[in-house]
Amino acid sequence: MKTLKPFILIGTVILVLGLMYVQYVKSAKDYQPALDKSVEQTETNNEGGGSMLELTGDGDTTSLESDTADWATYTNESCNFSIKFPESYIEIRESNECTDGKDYNASTTLVVPQIANQDGCLINELGQSMAENCEIHEIFVLNSEPTAEGTGITNTTTTVAGIDSKVISTNSQITIAIPYEGLWYNYLYSFAPGNKANAEQLIEKIAETIEFE
């Protein structure tokens, strides 16, 4: 019997180690690591003009492609200015040239063509759209800062092309006044009363496309 004790001891050790290994494998298989919400995953779909989405752990999505990528670009080299508008918009008035030393004391020099969202849009003597659902966009140059105060007029600020700019708004018009190299570039957007919420979203998107050459 004495000669069997070492073998019995070795067998017991092997059995214990085997049971420990089986328990370890089972625990590892059942383990599910917690998701790290700080890690961002990118899902790309380029088929048929698809979207590119950035998916975060908290479920938020952010577009990686600009909505304005296919918009038409309007450039006036003499004014060192460019802007984008939706491709379907039309020109209703031609632009002008910017001249050094010119006295820009009225809204007569259009940096880019006057743009409308549909055909038949006209402006009356009060600066209001005469056609239903018309939206009219124009950018003109002034020597001095535009001012407007009174009932229903709101003055705020924003940043356009990295430049601190002034915003003047009513229930049917929004003006973004951008100071650049001694002049004020005024983006005037006229729209139907009651559509201000949509107008604010659109002008913000268009203003993001403004560039000074």
Q: CA–CA separation, 169 vs 149, rounded Å?
A: 10
List all residues 6 or more positions away from 32 whose beta carbon is below 8 Å from its beta carbon.
Answer: none
Return the exposure string of 47-82: e unless at least 16 CB atoms fall within 10 Å of the residue's CB, then b. eeeeeeeeeeeeeeeeeeeeeeeebeebebeebbbb
| Tens digits of residue pLDDT in 51-77 | 222 223 333 323 434 688 899 999 999
Q: 161: buried, middle or exposed (CB in 10 Å: 19+, 13-18, 0-12)?
A: middle
Please tell me whether residues 116 and 169 are part of one structural domain: yes
Please tell me whether residues 112 and 173 are part of one structural domain: yes
What are the helix and strand counts (H, E) for the chain? 2, 13
Please tell me whether residues 54 and 139 are part of one structural domain: no
Let me know: does 72 contact 82? Beta carbons within 8 Å. no
Please tell me whether residues 9 and 97 are part of one structural domain: no
Mean pLDDT of the chain: 75
Decide if pLDDT at 11 tops 70.
Answer: no
| Tens digits of residue pLDDT in 116-128 | 998 878 666 565 5
Range of the domain at 83: 72-212
Q: What percent of the chain has pLDDT over 70?
A: 64
State how many domains the chain has.
3
